[in-house]
Every structure is written in structure tokens, then in C-alpha cells.
């Protein structure tokens, strides 16, 4: 029997997740369906309950429901058994599993980002000076997997400094990188500093804007990573013009986080390189 999965968001029509999971299923011979479901802004929890009651096996969660997904997992205590190891530090959840009438939640975004950086882009986070820009859901989902990689320095910068400070207070840190070693900064205060990896986890690119970072921010050989995908962004152009050696959008992260969700649901690891290549051919960014 075909096992049903979905991605829930609002808006959702633009989502590439159904295409990616269908490619994974075809490649691995898994009998699954995967659809995009638009949930009303005030109807996320009801949508999740409906899917679970209809026998879906799990779902992905996207904007703007990732924080609410975490609350569902934690609130409905009788239905919760645990959170995946990879998500135990995440307050934003992108993957749910429905099992024995229980809802299990975790976050695969951070694993996806780290895998894209280390495997697809052949870079290392270990020992690097890392700047994470943004303090929203995307930043929240990736912070612990990045800290797990043992960077040399980790700075979170945000347009509204207060939000970065609040975000830091939610971070538990890792054995490798305690939270006291995480710094918080405004963009202007980054003046004079250089980073080996600069990650844009803000939603500025959606509006064709970018954070107000200094032109000298990129260390020699730096990687500039925009989580946005599907178009060249002002941050990516800025990075090319100001010395970044590698400039990437977030398509690889999207595919890698999907692969991790697929693995959690199906116990099978799809080949991501071929899927990424196919998607890349359809999108304008090289």
C-alpha cells in the first residue's frame, strides 16, 4: 500500500519538496505519495491531526509553521514519544513522523546545510570563523548542527539586535561549542571582522534585499551561503564582488534536508547528487 506524506505550509504552491521526494521515491523504489498542503494560518495543528488521522506516515513543515510544529510536539505530551537526536536542540521543527498515534518531531535543516557545505561544496565548518546572519526559523534550525562541527568562532548577527540576543538565549550550545562562546552582533559592529563562512539565514533575499554587512567581511577563500534558492540574490552578487571564493544558494540544503527526512521516514538514503543536478538544470543559478 502506498504510504502518504506531505509538506504543510502557507504559502506552499512554490514548494519543490513534492518533486524532490517523488524523485527520491522513484530512485529507491519506495511506494510513497507526497503532496503539498496549504494550511490556514490558524489551522496548522488541525491540519496535522487530520493527516495523522487519515493515516499519513509523516510530513514536512515549512514557513510559517516551524515554531508551531515544535509546540505541537511538546504540547501533545500523550502523543509524543521523543524528538530525533538531530532535532533535540531545535525549537523549530521541519519533520514530523506519525507513529502509533504519536507525533514525533525533529529538524533536518541543519544536517542538510552541513551536508551541503561539507559534501557538495567540499568545505569545512570545523576550525572556521562562521557568521550566521538572521535570528528566525531558519537560523534556529541550523545553529546546533553548525556548532557541532566545532567552528573556531561563531557570531550571530541580525538587523534587530534584540532578536539576536533573544535567539542566543534559546540556544543550549553543544559539548563541542558552549553557548558562552557564541557572540551576537549588529551588522555595523561587524566592521573590521572577517569570516571564512558567511551564511545568510535571513528572509531579506525574498524581497531582493540583503543585510547591511561590511564589504570586507569575506576572508580569503571564504564561502558565502544564501539559504534562499531559485534565483541569484543581492547577497550572492555582493559576495562575488567582494572576495568570496565560493558562492552558493540553498538548493543543496533543500535537497539534503529532504533526504534526511526521507531517511527518517523510510530508512533508505537516496542519492542526492543526481536529484540536485536535475533541479539545478531547471533553475537559473549555476
Query: Annotated active-site positions, please?
Result: 66
Contact window for ligand NDP (CB under 6 A) among 44-52, 83-91, 201-209, 240-248: 201-209
> What contacts 75, CB < 8 A, 6 or more positions away?
none
Hey, which residues between 214 and 253 contact ligand NDP (CB under 6 A)?
227-229, 250, 253
Hey, which residues between 6 and 45 contact ligand NDP (CB under 6 A)?
none
209 vs 232, beta carbon nearer ligand NDP? 209
- Write 14-18 long-range contacts (CB < 8 A, 24+): 15/62, 16/254, 16/279, 17/60, 17/62, 17/254, 17/258
103 vs 259, beta carbon nearer ligand NDP? 259
Nearest distance from residue 137's CB to ligand NDP, in Å?
A: 4
Neighbours of 102 (CB within 10 A): 15
Q: How many residues bind ligand NDP (CB under 6 A)?
A: 28
CA-to-CA distance for 224 and 149, rounded, in angstroms? Answer: 17
Peptide bond between residue 43 and the one before it cis (omega within 30 degrees of 0): no
* 198-227 CB burial, b ≥16 within 10 A, e <16: bbbbbebbeeeebbebeeebbbeebbbbbb
Nearest distance from residue 71's CB to ligand NDP, in Å?
A: 15
CA–CA distance from 131 to each of 90, 225, 255, 256 (Å)? 19, 10, 23, 21
Hey, which residues between 71 and 110 contact ligand NDP (CB under 6 A)?
109
Nearest distance from residue 269's CB to ligand NDP, in Å?
A: 18
Distance spanning both ends of the chain, measured CA to CA: 39
> Can residue 136 be called a binding residue for ligand NDP (CB under 6 A)?
yes
Site string for ligand NDP, 156-185 (x = CB under 6 A): --xxx--x----------------------
Residues that bind ligand NDP (CB under 6 A): 63, 109, 134-139, 158-160, 163, 201-207, 209, 211, 227-229, 250, 253-254, 257
Amino acid at each position: 500500500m502506498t504510504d502518504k506524506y506531505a509538506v504543510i505550509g502557507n504559502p506552499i504552491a512554490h514548494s519543490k519538496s513534492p518533486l524532490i521526494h517523488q524523485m527520491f521515491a522513484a530512485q529507491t523504489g519506495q511506494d510513497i505519495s507526497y503532496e503539498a498542503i496549504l494550511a490556514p494560518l490558524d489551522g496548522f495543528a488541525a491540519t496535522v491531526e487530520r493527516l495523522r488521522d487519515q493515516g499519513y506516515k509523516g510530513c514536512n513543515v515549512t514557513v510559517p509553521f516551524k515554531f508551531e510544529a515544535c509546540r505541537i510536539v511538546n504540547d501533545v505530551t500523550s502523543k509524543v514519544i521523543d524528538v530525533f537526536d538531530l532535532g533535540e536542540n531545535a525549537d523549530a521543527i521541519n519533520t514530523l513522523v506519525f507513529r502509533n498515534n504519536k507525533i514525533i518531531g525533529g529538524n533536518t535543516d541543519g544536517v542538510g546545510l552541513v551536508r551541503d557545505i561539507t559534501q557538495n561544496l567540499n568545505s569545512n565548518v570545523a576550525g572556521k570563523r562562521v557568521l550566521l546572519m538572521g535570528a528566525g526559523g531558519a537560523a534556529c534550525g541550523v545553529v546546533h548542527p553548525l556548532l557541532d562541527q566545532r567552528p573556531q568562532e561563531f557570531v550571530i548577527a541580525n538587523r534587530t539586535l534584540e532578536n539576536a540576543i533573544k535567539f542566543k538565549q534559546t540556544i543550549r550550545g553543544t559539548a563541542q561549542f558552549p553557548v558562552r562562546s557564541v557572540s551576537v552582533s549588529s551588522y555595523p559592529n561587524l566592521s573590521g571582522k572577517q569570516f571564512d563562512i558567511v551564511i545568510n539565514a535571513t528572509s531579506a533575499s525574498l524581497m531582493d534585499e540583503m543585510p547591511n554587512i561590511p564589504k570586507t567581511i569575506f576572508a580569503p577563500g571564504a564561502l558565502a551561503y544564501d539559504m534562499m534558492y531559485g534565483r541569484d540574490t543581492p547577497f550572492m552578487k555582493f559576495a562575488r564582488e567582494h572576495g568570496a571564493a565560493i558562492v552558493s544558494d540553498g538548493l543543496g540544503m533543500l535537497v539534503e534536508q529532504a533526504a534526511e527526512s526521507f531517511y527518517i521516514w523510510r530508512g533508505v538514503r537516496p542519492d542526492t547528487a543526481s536529484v540536485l543536478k536535475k533541479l539545478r538544470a531547471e533553475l537559473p543559478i549555476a
